[in-house]
Amino acid sequence: MTISTPSAAKASLRTRFAAAAEQAWALAENSQAVVERLKFILPLTKTVAGFLSLKDEPDLSALYGLKDYRFVFPKVEGDELHFYRPKTSDAFAKGPWGLLEPIPEQSDTVEASAVDVFLVPGLAFDRKLFRLGRGRGFYDRTLAQTKALKIGLASSAQVLNEDLPNEQHDCPMDVLVTEKFVIRRLRAS
**Across residues 118-125, what is the average pLDDT?**
93
The arithmetic mean of pLDDT across residues 91-115, rounded, is: 93
Delineate the domains of the chain, giving CATH numbers in brackets.
Answer: 6-184 (3.40.50.10420)
Residue 24, pLDDT > 80, answer no
pLDDT above 80 for 116: yes
pLDDT tens per residue across span 132-186 = 887 677 888 899 999 999 999 999 999 999 988 777 778 899 999 999 999 998 7
Higher pLDDT, 113 or 135: 113
**Is this structure's pTM higher than 0.75?**
yes
Looking at this protein, which amino acid is placed at residue 110?
Answer: V
